[in-house]
Amino acid sequence: MSVDIAVIGAGFAGIGTAIKLRRKGIRDFAILERDSAIGGTWRDNTYPGAACDIPSRLYSYGFAPNPDWSHTYSGSAEILRYIETITREHGVMSHIRFGHNVTGMVFDEAAGEWEIAVAGRPALRARAVVLASGPLANASWPDIPGLDTFTGHKIHSARWDHDYDFTGKRVAVIGTGASAVQIVPELVEKAAAVKVFQRTPGWVLPRVNRQTSALVREIYRRVPGAQELARAAWFYGHESVALGVVWNTPLTRVVELVGKAQLRRQVADPWLRRQLTPDFRAGCKRLLMTDDFYPALQRANCKLVTWPIARIAPHGIRTAEGVEHLADCLVFATGFEVGKAGTPFPVLGRGGRSLGDEWARGAYAYRSVAVSGYPNLFLTFGPNSGPGHNSALIYMEAQIDYLVRAIGIILDRDLRTLEVRRDRQDRYNAGLQRRLAATTWNSGCRSWYLTADGFNATMYPGFAGQYTHQLRAVRLDDYAAMPRRARTA
Ligand code: N01
């Protein structure tokens, strides 16, 4: 079986890619999705309180504005509905092959095709592949001793168990990242007791969510340009935030002042305030946007535990000072496996070289979308494309436009291979790493942005506008292009 293009993953990026391929008149493509439904992150992250902390007008595609967002920041169900709607409206559904779990890819140099292995199914061949499987797709269970000995219920934030009834239960939440700060305010409403195990306090900033009034929705629907204007306002607002969170400059202190003011305003107890005060520069780890987390921690049925976890016991969690915290349910808001195996499955390029091996100490790519040695392969949300201050969708749409243009070049010119030149890739990454050294992410905290060796393969050190600008055109002199006919000549 073969197609011109294989897209791996039917989340936001895969669906966006498919829409843009169709708009370009490309029809011979398949989206391989391991699950039985679309939506990726927004299908999987359905924990109570799950929402996006980027405004919906920015956290959506520019080509598919939605006048009906119910709030400034939408919940996960509404975002999933948006993805389903654009998938249907743009005729993408028929391209999706559900239950197709890709287990590996090998580049066949003679044919100029990727051979894609799919669990329990025949392999698929494709002239070009778009890897849209997402960096935060696999839940991370922490390596805490005794994890398997717990006799109660265990839930990970990214795979919520909606059948479990928290009413009257004692719950222990491990983690205080972006997922936990959304979960805890919901859990305290139902559970008898909630203990929140914090290893590192994060910077918490106000979110201020508002319902969109009927009048505003009507304006967005009827007034030409209104949605674009609102999106532009949010975009430049977030771009200005970059000055305080991307680089480690005096402006970072402004963000820290806002965080400290929120802490002072919402937490009266000086002891608790001290426990919640971060000891690293704002932005070094992901900023936590919430108005509800601190109030939830101060509810009578909630307690913050700051002693390190020593082990998980059959009936709860034992902390370093020897106390056992009994729990009926452990909630793991412990994040995702990021770059642990290099790539989500083995990817073998020219001469059998392995992308996983090359990326073992930290991933790199050319402008985050292409990798030398792996022709006709394009990445969404690839190395160093994390924003930190703006919407991931802005970055994603720029990547998609770029890679669809590159794929168009492969098809229109009937190329066997289009491969980024190594020297261009190296020059790009040398510049990136130089700039990254001056950012807040490299200022000394531990985060999933960095590898164990402190290599930043995750974030883009600049404004969103700079990132999208560099992807506005495919510069052919950055690539080696080999026509198909050269094989037989
Ligand atoms: O995961 P995280 P997340 N013992 O890795 C703690 C996106 N997202 O799911 O900080 C004790 O950030 C860990 O502690 P520490 C967003 O990109 C977006 O919350 O490492 N604790 C931390 O507190 C985000 O960055 C939205 O010391 C342990 C927590 O678990 C990404 O997803 C909403 C531990 C993990 O935090 C991941 O966020 C939610 C251990 N052994 C998520 N291991 C939006 O709104 C880990 N921890 C867009």
Among 418, 424, 419, 299, residue whose Cα is nearest residue 367: 424
What helix, strand, coil percent values describe the chain, rounded to 5? 35, 20, 45
Give φ, ψ of 303 to 5 degrees: -145, 135
Q: What six digits make up the tokens of 483?
A: 């026509």
Give φ, ψ of 353 to 5 degrees: -65, 145
| pLDDT tens digits, 312-339 | 999 999 999 999 999 999 999 999 998 7
Would you say 183 and 173 are in contact if contact means Cβ atoms under 8 Å apart?
yes
Q: CB neighbours of 25 closer than 8 A, spacing ≥ 6?
A: none
Q: In whole angstroms, what is the distance from residue 69 CA to residue 14 CA?
A: 22
Q: In whole angstroms, what is the distance from residue 274 CA to residue 291 CA?
A: 18
Q: What six digits make up the tokens of 457?
A: 């393969």
What ligand 1 atom has the least distance to the C-alpha of 332? 30
Q: Which residue has the tokens 């000549």?
A: 489
CA distances (Å), 109 to each of 140, 271, 296, 375, in order? 36, 63, 57, 9
CATH code of 154-221+247-332, in short, is 3.50.50.60
Q: Which amino acid is at 265?
A: R
To test the pocket of ligand 1, the residue of 140, 199, 209, 289 to mutate (highest count of ligand atoms within 8 Å of its CB) is 199
CA atoms within 13 A on the CB side of 181: 24
Name residues of the chain where pLDDT drops below 70.
340-341, 486-489
Q: How many A from CA of 333 to the centre of ligand 1?
A: 6
**Ligand 1 pocket: which residues have CB below 6 Å?**
52-54, 136, 142, 144, 157, 174-180, 199-200, 286, 309, 333-336, 446, 448
Q: How many A from CA of 141 to the centre of ligand 1?
A: 11
Q: What is the pLDDT of residue 489?
A: 42
Taking the CB of residue 174, how many other CB atoms lie within 10 A of it?
24
Q: What is the pLDDT of residue 287?
A: 96
3-state secondary structure at position 135: coil
Ligand 1 atom 29: residue of nearest CA: 175
Would you say 229 and 259 are in contact if contact means Cβ atoms under 8 Å apart?
no
| β 316-319/121-131 pair status | unpaired
Domain layout of the chain by residue ranges: 2-138+337-483, 154-221+247-332
Q: Quote the DSSP letter at residue 17.
A: H
CA distances (Å), 236 to each of 118, 258, 347, 464, 466, in order? 42, 19, 38, 9, 12
Among 92, 79, 83, residue whose Cα is nearest residue 23: 92
CA atoms within 13 A on the CB side of 386: 24
| pLDDT tens digits, 151-202 | 999 999 999 999 999 999 999 999 999 999 999 999 999 999 999 999 999 9
Q: What is the pLDDT of residue 486?
A: 57
What ligand 1 atom has the least distance to the C-alpha of 200? 27
- Bridge partners (DSSP) of residue 6 are 30, 129
Ligand 1 atom 24: residue of nearest CA: 178
Q: Give percent above pLDDT 90 in the chain.
A: 93
Q: What is the pLDDT of residue 339?
A: 75
Element holding 186 (H helix, E strand): helix 180-190
CATH code of 2-138+337-483, in short, is 3.50.50.60
Q: Could you tell me the sign of the dihedral formed by the alpha carbons of 59, 64, 65, 69, in that order?
A: negative
- Bridge partners (DSSP) of residue 336 are 139
Q: What is the pLDDT of residue 485?
A: 75
Ligand 1 atom 5: residue of nearest CA: 335
Would you say 207 and 288 are in contact if contact means Cβ atoms under 8 Å apart?
no
CA angle 89, 118, 106 (to 5 degrees): 105
Q: In whole angstroms, what is the distance from residue 197 CA to residue 187 CA?
A: 14
Total count of residues recorded for the chain: 489
Among 93, 117, 95, residue whose Cα is nearest residue 30: 95
Give yes or no on whether 2-138+337-483 and 154-221+247-332 have one common fold.
yes
3-state secondary structure at position 269: coil
Give φ, ψ of 320 to 5 degrees: -60, -30
Q: What is the pLDDT of residue 408?
A: 98
To test the pocket of ligand 1, the residue of 12, 207, 290, 334 to mutate (highest count of ligand atoms within 8 Å of its CB) is 334
